[in-house]
Every structure is written in structure tokens, then in C-alpha cells.
């Protein structure tokens, strides 16, 4: 079996920075990415065939991505890159199986850096499975990287500053944004203000978005959330309502809007399928998105030689992700004896210092916009929770009431989480439902244990490959 | 035909047709099938296996599996992760989908 010194999984900001640092020290690197181009979700590249005459339309993230990928390109002879790769299994002793070009390859990594990223938090409500209900990530990708409008009359519902960015992009692209619903009342904002001090770039971006939205007369409603989507074949109408401090809808405050699209942006959930497969201990951190692998200060997980970096270790954004990627790579270099402990600790302390300020800012944001559970309190029994296996809230509540209080038991009994998404969508919802109904902590409720293949692969593809 | 593409300040690659449930729709080089479908106002990708409800693009990044369609005879192809190619044949997937018998 082929053996590689360092395998990095994920080519977003964290993975790319890890590759750059490791390449500088001469580690043998294999970088694996799922997409046809590096950059991850935040730095997603335009296809070569698409060109934008006004570069400002692309935004700051795009140019930061361009810069970072150009930096990586300088070391292109020092690492191996495979794109369009699906890592479908990690086995003991850091052996991985991945699909590339229709074939499975198996190899052994001496060190592993996981940069799995994150995905949009699924938030269920009546009608959320209708075509025309999209996540903010999907909408942002369509309008920014594909230059296609996800709809014509759009309602945004969610929380956090990403909604303002998305709203501004949609308006600029010519869509009618009917309203932006912010679930938070923002009452904690002033208390957190000191933590925003110094983050001028981010604050200025926020102001720019607000001005664009005001100019387009887009109402920004604080303390409102989406409660229902209606339509035959697709979204035709949205119902939203005022919510209390716990984000539970207040009766008889409902309003209706004729829309063809509802975009939900309730923050992100860290992707932890690979770190779970590795057996890394997971810890519950609601302010950083949920379950995340426990890491030491150099981003090494509880499995020696396995590191996790970026949003998959807690939602903190691209700038933090980059620094975490560098930290992990430096630690790997130190472990291989390629940099001296003195040099390493000098580099670490510079990064730690940067991270302290950045993390304070991210924590302040997460404090205001962290998801509140009242949002799930309003789910009526016939709402689908597991989108793959079509399991409703009622079916899940029924088994909870029968006394089954562990998420794995409920998976076996209802099939929720057994479909092709492997529970990525329903796990955060069901875990919260169990915890609310049974008064258990999220740690007691637990999480699904993924098994390979973690994404659907055909039997033929899984079987074909190097078994030696 | 509806065209939901942003035109201002954007220049696209080669246009071509793709076939969606027997109907020709416009697509561009470098575009995902999901983008071509949304631009044409086609939002239903599949019908669920139990309740036959319509589903469309939800997560847009290959996680939710909501946009599984039959592409060139291959079921469970995620159109948000698959590039449109000239004359590719896209079909609404019913339930878990079937492989098209090769001719």
C-alpha cells in the first residue's frame, strides 16, 4: 500500500494554508479536494468559461481566495493535488479509501489533516422540503459562482451577518428580496460591541451591505422567523411570525408574503464525519455549531497524528481557519524534525496571538446569533425531519414517548439518518428534539456513528482498487 | 423561455442545449446542471419514494442529496455537483431511481 507523509483532506482556506506551510518545510504532501477547483465554499472559484467584467462584483472573499491559491501555486512542485476526490472511508492506522476517476484508491497517511469544512444548518418548518426552499450556502453559490438567480421573489430567513451579504448580492443581481428576517432581536449587540473594536474591515462590509439593502428598500425585520412554506409543486407563499427570546413563534403574529423562494441561513454545522470515522473524541460546543473534535492548541485531535482545522473544528470563519491550518502544518513539520522546537514555538506564539483577537470577535458574533431552540418548538407532527427517509417529527416524537431516548436507538427504530445523506441533515434536528423532550443534555443524547462509505458510492467503485 | 441568469457584466462560455425530461433547455459551458435548471425555472429534481413529493436543490453543495436525478442513464447523480455537457440527458428521478438499460 502506498504511504504518504501528510494527507490533507479539504482544499478550503484551512487545508490550503496547511499545504503551503508544510510544503515550505519539504513534507511529502497529498492534498485531496472534493471539487473541480480548490477554494472550498467561501473561496469558490468561477468556472474558466465565465468572466466578470466588473471585478468588484466578485467581492473581497474572492480576491483573498485568488491570492491564497496563487501563493499555493508557488509550491506546486512540492505537493501532489487530486481534485474531484471523494474520501469515503478512513480505517485504523490512518488508512484512507477515496474515489477518483471512477476508481477507489487506498493509501496510508503518516499524518492526516482534516479540513472538512461545514454546511448550512438545516432548520425544518412546514413545507421546508418544497422546491424553492434553499439554504443560504446554495443561494450564495448560485448568485456568486454560477451567476444564476435562485428565484425571482425571495424571502430570506435566518440569523447573522451572512444574510446581509446574501441579500445585497441578490439585490445587485436583480432579484426582488421581499424581506430579510433576523431571528435574533439583537438585544445583546451593544453588550458585545467592545469585542468588535478593531475589526474595522468587517464592520465596514456590514455597513456597505446595509446601505445597499436600504437603497433597494428591503425591510430588515428583527425578531422574526419563517414558520411555513406553502405551494403545490414549489414555493408560492411564505408565512413568518414574530419570535420570543427563545426564537419560538408568538401566536397570532403571523404575516404572509407571496414569494417563489425562501432562503434559510441559520448558521453552519461543522462537518465531522471524517473525524468521527477516525475515532477522534467529539465535544459539544453549541456556540461553535455543535459537535466538534476535541483538539489541543496545535489542532491535534485525540488520535495522535490526526489534526483537524478550520470550520470543521467549530464555526469561526476563513481567517481563523487559515491560522489553524498553519498551526497544524507547523506541528507536523516539528514532529518530522523539519523545524527545530525553538523555531516552531516562535511561529506558534505569533499565530496564537493573532488567533486570540480573532476568536474573541467570532465568539461575540456567535453569542448574538447562536441558534435558539424555540425554533424547533414550533414543528408540528407532520413536518418531515429526515429528508432522505421521509420520517416525520410525529414519528420521532412517538418513539421518544415510548421511552427511546438515545439517538442511535431512534435511528434504528425510525430509519431517520439511514438515507444517502447519512444523517448530516437530520442529526442536529433530532438530537435537539430528543434533548428538549427528555430534558437530557446533548452529550447524553449523543450522535450518529458514521460507517464507511460516508457518501454513496456504487459497489463497483468501492470494490475496484488497490488491495495490496 | 425563462432565463434567470445574471447578464450584467458577465460573459459566458459556449452555449448549448441539454435535454431535461425530453425538453431542450439552454446551458453554458462550466455551469452545473443545477444552475441550468434554476435558470430555466425548473425546480423539481426528483419525487420521493414514499410520499411522491417533489424535491429540489436545497444545500447546493453535495450534502443533502436532494437534487439526485438521472443523468445520462445514471440515477442518484447530484446535479449541483455535475457539470452540464452538450446534449446530456437529464431526467426527473422517481423514488430511488433505476439504471437505464444500455442500448
- State whether residue A432 sits within 8 Å of chain B by CB: no
For residue A415, count other CB atoms closer than 10 A to its CB: 15
Closest residue to A48, CB basis, from B30, B38, B66: B30
What is the set of domains in chain B, with CATH numbers? Answer: 15-93 (3.10.20.440)
Answer whether B54 sits within 8 Å of A48, measured CB to CB. Answer: no
CA distance A458 to A455: 10
Shared domain for A256 and A185, answered yes or no, is yes
| B10-11 and B68-71 beta bridge pairing | unpaired
Over range A60-74, report the average pLDDT. 94
Nearest to A284 by CA among A441, A50, A115: A441
pLDDT digits (tens, 9 = 90+) for A295-343: 999 999 999 999 999 999 999 999 999 999 999 999 999 999 999 999 9
CA distance A432 to A428: 6
- State whether residue A456 sits within 8 Å of chain B by CB: yes
Answer whether A152 sits within 8 Å of B68, measured CB to CB. Answer: no
The three grid cell numbers given for residue B40, joined into one nine-digit string: 430555466
Query: What separation in angstroms does the CA of A289 have from each of A18, A138, A267, A371, A388?
Result: 23, 19, 8, 9, 22
pLDDT at A466: 46
If you count them, how many residues does chain B have? Answer: 103
The three grid cell numbers given for residue A255, joined into one nine-digit string: 404575516
Shared domain for A196 and A300, answered yes or no, is no
Determine contact, residues A220/A346, Cβ cutoff 8 Å.
no
Shared domain for A141 and A247, answered yes or no, is yes
- State whether residue A119 sits within 8 Å of chain B by CB: yes
- Looking at chain A from residue 144 to 163, which residues have their Cβ under 8 Å from any Cβ of chain B? 146-152
Handedness of CA A105, A111, A116, A117 (dihedral sign): negative
For residue B102, count other CB atoms closer than 10 A to its CB: 5
Shared domain for A245 and A297, answered yes or no, is no
pLDDT at A369: 84
- The verdict on residue A249 lying in a domain is yes
Shared domain for A131 and A232, answered yes or no, is yes
**Half-sphere exposure of residue A400, counting CA atoms within 13 Å on the CB side?**
20
| A224-230 and A103-114 beta bridge pairing | unpaired
Shared domain for A37 and A106, answered yes or no, is yes
Considering only CB atoms, which chain A residues are within 8 Å of B42?
none
Tally of domains in chain A: 3
Alpha carbon B70 to chain centroid, angstroms: 9
A50 → chain B, closest CA residue: B12
- State whether residue B95 sits within 8 Å of chain A by CB: no
Determine contact, residues A224/A182, Cβ cutoff 8 Å.
yes
pLDDT digits (tens, 9 = 90+) for B45-95: 999 999 999 999 999 999 999 999 999 999 999 999 999 999 999 999 999
**pLDDT reading at B103 higher than 60:** no
Considering only CB atoms, which chain A residues are within 8 Å of B63?
119, 421, 424-425
CA distance A8 to A309: 10
What is the nearest CA distance from A52 to chain B, expressed in angstroms?
5
- State whether residue A138 sits within 8 Å of chain B by CB: yes
CB pairs under 8 A between A and B: 137
pLDDT digits (tens, 9 = 90+) for A387-445: 999 999 999 999 999 999 899 999 999 999 999 999 999 999 999 999 999 999 999 99
The mean pLDDT value of chain B amounts to 93
Shared domain for A256 and A297, answered yes or no, is no
pLDDT digits (tens, 9 = 90+) for A179-230: 999 999 877 666 666 666 666 777 788 888 999 999 999 999 999 999 999 9
Shared domain for A85 and A151, answered yes or no, is no
Considering only CB atoms, which chain A residues are within 8 Å of B61?
41, 119, 137-138, 141
Considering only CB atoms, which chain A residues are within 8 Å of B44?
131, 233-234
Q: ipTM beyond 0.90?
A: yes
The three grid cell numbers given for residue A61, joined into one nine-digit string: 472573499
DSSP secondary structure string for all residues of A308-346: E-GGGGS--HHHHHHHHHHHHHHHHHHHTTSS-HHHHHH
Considering only CB atoms, which chain B residues are within 8 Å of A135?
58-60
Nearest to A43 by CA among A75, A9, A73, A68: A68
CATH at A399: 1.10.10.1100
- The verdict on residue A19 lying in a domain is yes
B9 → chain A, closest CA residue: A53
- The verdict on residue A144 lying in a domain is yes
Shared domain for A145 and A75, answered yes or no, is no
Shared domain for A235 and A295, answered yes or no, is no
Determine contact, residues B71/B56, Cβ cutoff 8 Å.
no
Nearest to A70 by CA among A33, A26, A107, A38: A38
CATH at A187: 3.50.50.60
The residue segments making up the domain with residue A387 are 381-445
Amino acid at each position: 500500500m502506498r504511504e504518504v507523509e501528510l494527507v490533507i483532506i479539504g482544499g478550503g482556506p484551512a487545508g490550503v494554508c496547511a499545504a503551503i506551510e508544510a510544503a515550505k518545510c519539504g513534507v511529502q504532501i497529498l492534498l485531496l479536494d472534493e471539487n473541480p477547483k480548490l477554494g472550498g465554499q467561501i473561496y469558490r472559484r468561477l468556472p474558466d468559461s465565465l468572466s466578470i467584467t466588473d471585478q468588484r462584483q466578485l467581492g473581497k472573499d474572492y480576491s483573498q481566495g485568488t491570492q491564497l491559491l496563487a501563493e499555493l501555486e508557488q509550491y506546486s512542485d512540492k505537493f501532489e493535488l487530486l481534485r474531484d476526490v471523494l474520501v469515503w472511508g478512513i480505517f485504523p492506522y490512518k488508512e484512507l479509501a477515496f474515489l477518483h476517476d471512477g476508481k477507489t484508491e487506498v493509501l496510508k497517511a503518516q499524518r492526516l489533516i482534516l479540513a472538512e469544512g461545514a454546511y448550512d444548518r438545516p432548520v425544518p418548518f412546514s413545507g421546508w422540503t418544497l422546491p424553492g426552499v434553499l439554504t443560504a450556502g446554495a443561494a450564495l453559490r448560485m448568485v456568486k459562482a454560477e451567476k444564476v438567480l435562485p428565484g425571482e421573489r425571495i424571502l430570506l430567513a435566518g440569523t447573522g451577518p451572512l444574510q446581509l451579504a446574501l441579500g445585497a448580492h441578490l439585490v445587485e443581481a436583480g432579484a426582488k428580496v421581499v424581506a430579510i428576517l433576523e431571528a435574533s432581536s439583537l438585544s445583546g449587540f451593544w453588550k458585545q460591541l467592545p469585542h468588535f473594536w478593531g475589526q474595522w474591515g468587517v464592520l465596514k462590509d456590514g455597513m456597505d451591505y446595509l446601505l445597499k439593502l436600504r437603497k433597494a428598500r428591503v425591510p430588515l425585520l428583527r425578531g422574526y422567523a419563517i414558520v411555513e412554506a406553502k405551494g403545490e409543486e414549489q414555493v408560492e407563499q411564505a408565512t413568518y411570525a414574530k419570535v420570543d427570546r427563545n426564537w419560538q413563534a408568538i401566536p397570532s403574529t403571523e404575516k404572509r408574503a407571496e414569494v417563489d423562494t425562501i432562503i434559510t441561513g441559520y448558521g453552519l454545522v461543522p462537518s465531522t464525519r471524517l473525524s468521527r470515522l477516525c475515532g477522534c473524541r467529539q465535544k459539544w460546543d453549541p456556540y461553535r455549531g455543535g459537535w466538534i473534535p476535541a483538539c489541543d492548541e496545535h489542532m491535534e485531535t485525540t488520535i495522535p497524528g490526526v489534526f483537524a482545522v478550520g470550520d470543521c473544528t467549530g464555526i469561526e470563519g476563513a481567517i481563523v481557519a487559515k491560522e489553524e491550518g498553519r498551526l497544524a502544518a507547523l506541528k507536523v513539520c516539528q514532529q518530522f524534525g523539519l523545524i527545530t522546537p525553538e523555531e516552531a514555538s516562535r511561529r506558534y506564539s505569533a499565530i496564537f496571538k493573532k488567533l486570540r483577537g480573532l476568536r474573541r470577535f467570532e465568539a461575540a458574533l456567535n453569542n448574538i446569533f447562536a441558534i435558539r431552540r424555540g425554533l424547533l418548538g414550533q414543528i408540528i407532527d407532520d413536518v418531515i425531519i429526515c429528508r432522505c427517509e421521509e420520517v416525520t417529527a410525529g414519528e420521532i416524537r412517538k418513539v421518544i414517548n415510548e421511552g427511546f431516548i438515545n439517538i442511535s436507538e431512534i435511528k434504528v427504530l425510525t430509519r431517520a439518518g439511514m438515507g444517502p445523506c447519512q444523517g448530516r441533515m437530520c442529526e442536529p434536528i433530532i438530537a435537539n428534539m430528543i434533548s428538549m423532550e427528555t430534558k437530557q443534555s446533548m452529550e447524553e443524547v449523543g450522535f450518529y456513528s458514521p460507517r464507511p462509505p460516508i457518501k454513496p458510492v456504487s459497489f463497483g467503485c468501492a470494490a475496484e482498487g488497490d488491495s495490496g | 423561455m425563462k432565463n434567470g441568469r445574471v447578464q450584467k457584466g458577465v460573459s459566458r462560455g459556449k452555449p448549448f442545449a441539454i435535454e431535461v425530461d425530453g425538453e431542450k433547455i439552454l446551458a453554458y459551458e462550466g455551469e452545473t446542471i443545477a444552475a441550468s435548471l434554476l435558470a430555466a425555472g425548473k425546480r423539481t429534481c426528483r419525487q420521493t419514494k414514499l410520499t411522491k413529493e417533489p424535491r429540489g436543490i436545497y444545500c447546493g453543495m453535495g450534502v443533502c442529496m436532494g437534487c439526485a436525478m438521472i443523468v445520462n442513464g445514471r440515477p442518484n447523480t447530484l446535479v449541483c455537483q455535475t457539470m452540464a455537457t452538450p446534449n446530456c440527458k437529464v431526467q426527473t428521478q422517481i423514488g430511488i431511481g433505476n439504471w437505464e438499460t444500455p442500448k
